[in-house]
Amino acid sequence: MVEIHGDVTPGFGAVADAFAENFARHGEVGAGVAIYLDGHPVVELWGGSDAVRARPFTEDSLVVVQSATKGATATCLALLVQRGLLDPDAPVAAYWPEFGQAGKQDIPVRWVLGHLAGLPDVDPSAGLRGLATMTGPALVDALAGAEPWWVPGTAWAYHATTFGTLAGELVRRVTGTSIGQFLATEIAAPLGLDFWIGLPERHHHRVAPAGPPAGAGGPDLAAVEPGTVRHRIAQAALASFAAFHAATDPADPRAWRAYLAAEIPAAGGVTNARSLARMYAATVSEVDGVRLLTDATVDRARAPQTDGVANVGLFGAQFRYGWGFQLPSPTMPGLTARSFGHPGAGGHLGFADPQHRVGFGYVCTSPRWPGADSDPRWLNLLAALRAALA
């Protein structure tokens, strides 16, 4: 039996039971879960080991949370909107003039945040390799010069990597700092978070390697109709998957260190369950005197951008998006219909719920979530949390 560590406030014991059950019934290897209510921690648990069972998963362990990073990136953008530094209805080119090429001059910021910009990937013909497919000036320049893959605003598809690059460049143009620096100074430092986009080398030893996410081989090209946007996305995704695996192989220490240090605002964030929960808690309540977003900003950030718009991507229509935050849907339910956050490939999850003033964080080392339907581990934890809040 796996030994579970941490603290649980009376009344939330069912969450601890569900967390333990995930190890017994759902193939959990190493994980952490944290929940804040009204700005205070009520659950913080961890247990198990890293993916190869070489080291215990501890209170100090960190995990690359893949696309759960997008929630932090979206929070950075929402904070800039709240401060009056970024207008979601203004053209991206107003902040980033080079972006206004190739028919993109009228794309508003909110279409970038809602995955409607028509730039779901960079065509393999751009010649990017390795980390350059995920971050860096060459990727920024490639996106600035790219033609949209469809008429922007008329359809949407998940911008798996390019969401972060586009959002990160907006942060840089508006603030003069990188998104990793902005997260560190404006969100992580005030809240005391262990959350980085671009992990300092002194923390590399804390990272618990995870197994490759389920479905990590990429899409099945034969199952996608040729000549469609979806087929083009699948082709580009195969190249992206190959580059990702080459750059993130823990067996190649040099590549692994470079990956951890790189600022990849779509999928390279490094954190733990406590920091995910604490960040999201501060979007809907005050945490030790810090409130990141006002109720009005949260309502704006939660406004659906993809409802009623055709999906031309690989994941189908089960996802819904606001300003970069994923919204609840029948196959991806939140705590309530008002929840907002983002999952990450393999099973990581962070979200806030304004109705209950909850911040939630879950990280793991054992991939069970392929990116289609809900992870059974989430459903188990959320059912227990709903019961505790009833």
Q: Which residues carry out catalysis?
A: 67
CA-based nearest residue to 387, from 6, 13, 70: 13
Beta strands in the chain (DSSP E): 4-8, 30-37, 40-48, 63-64, 155-156, 270-271, 310-311, 320-321, 326-327, 340-344, 348-353, 358-364
Please tell me the distance from the alpha carbon of residue 43 to that of residue 20, in angstroms, as a whole number. 13
Q: Yes or no: say if 29 and 366 are a contact pair by the CB < 8 Å rule.
A: yes
User: Other CB atoms closer than 10 Å to residue 143's CB: what's the count?
Assistant: 22
Please tell me the distance from the alpha carbon of residue 36 to that of residue 44, in angstroms, as a whole number. 9
Q: Yes or no: say if 157 and 171 are a contact pair by the CB < 8 Å rule.
A: no
**Alpha carbon distances (Å) from 199 to 66, 91, 253, 267, 273:** 14, 31, 15, 13, 16
CA-based nearest residue to 43, from 71, 18, 70, 68: 18
Strands 348-353 and 40-48: unpaired
Please tell me the distance from the alpha carbon of residue 11 to that of residue 231, in angstroms, as a whole number. 49
Q: Yes or no: say if 41 and 288 are a contact pair by the CB < 8 Å rule.
A: no
